[in-house]
C-alpha cells in the first residue's frame, strides 16, 4: 500500500454534497444527506476522519441543499483541514455534472473526488492517494448504477449504465471515488464546459468520464475496494443495510471512528 505520509500523495479532496437526498426523505427534509448517521456517526464525519487520517490537508465542498448545516458541522469537525466552499445555486434542477463543473476555478492541483453518501474504512484510501485511479468493487445484489469494464492491462476500458451485466468477470461497480491528476483535470474541465454549454445539466459526470475513456482522452487504473466494507447510502433500505454492515467491525472511541485494518484486502 502507499505511504499515507508520502510527499507526493494527493492532499486535496473534492466532496460533492449539493443534492437534496430525495430518496432518503423524510430524513433529508431538515438535514443534508451527508449528515445522516451510519452506526451512530454522520456520514460526513466519517469521511472527514478518513481523509484526515490519510494526510489530506484541504477539503473543497460543493454545497446546495441546507448547505449552512454542512458549513456549521465542518466548523466543528474539520480539525486542521482547510475547508473551501463552492455553492451550487441550481442544485434542485441540475445534477452532479454541474457541481463538478462549478468547482473548476477552486482546484488547480491533483485531487480526490468523493461523493458525500459513501461509508468506508480509512485504510481503503491508501491506494487512491496517487492520481488517475478509480475505486471499484465486485458486484453485490444491492449495487446499481455505473459499472466499468477492465481490459487485459488492468485499465478501465468502458463505463456502463443500466441493469444488464454482460460479463460479470470483467465488470465492476464504481465506488464513486476518483483520484485526478492536473493534466486529466484540465481535459475533464474542457469536456464539462462543453456539456454545460449545451445545457446538459441533468447528466451525471460519469457521462463525461465514459465519453473520454472511450475516445482515449482519459485513463484510470483500478483500485479494488472490498465489496463488504463500503456502502453507498441512497435510500432508507441502504441506511439500514449500512448500519448492519458497519456494526460488524466498527466501534466508537471518544466520539471518533476506530476501525481495525485487515491484514489483507479482498478485491
We report the CATH number of the domain holding residue 116 as 3.90.550.10
Residues, the chain, total?
A: 267
pLDDT of 70 over the 90 cut: yes
236 part of a folded domain: yes
Give pLDDT tens digits for 168-211: 556 899 999 999 999 999 999 999 999 999 999 999 999 999 99
Tell me the pTM.
Answer: 0.88
163 part of a folded domain: yes
Distance between CA 256 and CA 267 in Å, rounded? 27
56 part of a folded domain: yes
87 part of a folded domain: yes
249 part of a folded domain: yes
Count of the separate structural domains present in the chain: 1
Give pLDDT tens digits for 131-167: 999 999 998 877 878 899 998 888 999 999 865 555 5
3 part of a folded domain: no
How big is the CA angle at 32 (ends 27 and 35), to the nearest 5 degrees?
85
7 part of a folded domain: no
2 part of a folded domain: no
For the chain, give percent helix, strand, coil, nearest 5: 30, 25, 40
Range of the domain at 56: 12-259
Amino acid at each position: 500500500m502507499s505511504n499515507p505520509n508520502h510527499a507526493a500523495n494527493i492532499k486535496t479532496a473534492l466532496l460533492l454534497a449539493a443534492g437534496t437526498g430525495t430518496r432518503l426523505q423524510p430524513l433529508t427534509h431538515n438535514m443534508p444527506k451527508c449528515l445522516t448517521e451510519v452506526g451512530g456517526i454522520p456520514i460526513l464525519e466519517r469521511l472527514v476522519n478518513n481523509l484526515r487520517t490519510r494526510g489530506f490537508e484541504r477539503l473543497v465542498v460543493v454545497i446546495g441543499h441546507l448547505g449552512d448545516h454542512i458549513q456549521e458541522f465542518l466548523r466543528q469537525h474539520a480539525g486542521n483541514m482547510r475547508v473551501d466552499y463552492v455553492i451550487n445555486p441550481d442544485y434542485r434542477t441540475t445534477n452532479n455534472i454541474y457541481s463538478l463543473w462549478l468547482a473548476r476555478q477552486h482546484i488547480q492541483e491533483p485531487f480526490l473526488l468523493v461523493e458525500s453518501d459513501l461509508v468506508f474504512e480509512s485504510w481503503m484510501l491508501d491506494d487512491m492517494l496517487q492520481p488517475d485511479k478509480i475505486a471499484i468493487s465486485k458486484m453485490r445484489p444491492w449495487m446499481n448504477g455505473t459499472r466499468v469494464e477492465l481490459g487485459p492491462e488492468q485499465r478501465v476500458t468502458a463505463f456502463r449504465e443500466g441493469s444488464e451485466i454482460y460479463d460479470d468477470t470483467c465488470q465492476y461497480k464504481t465506488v464513486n471515488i476518483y483520484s485526478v491528476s492536473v493534466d486529466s483535470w484540465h481535459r475533464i474541465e474542457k469536456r464539462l464546459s462543453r456539456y454545460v454549454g449545451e445545457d446538459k445539466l441533468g447528466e451525471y459526470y460519469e457521462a463525461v468520464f465514459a465519453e473520454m475513456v472511450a475516445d482515449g482522452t482519459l485513463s484510470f487504473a483500478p483500485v479494488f475496494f472490498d465489496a463488504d466494507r463500503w456502502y453507498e447510502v441512497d435510500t432508507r433500505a441502504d441506511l439500514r443495510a449500512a448500519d448492519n454492515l458497519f456494526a460488524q467491525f466498527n466501534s466508537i472511541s471518544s466520539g471518533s471512528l476506530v476501525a481495525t485494518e485487515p491484514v489483507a484486502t479482498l478485491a
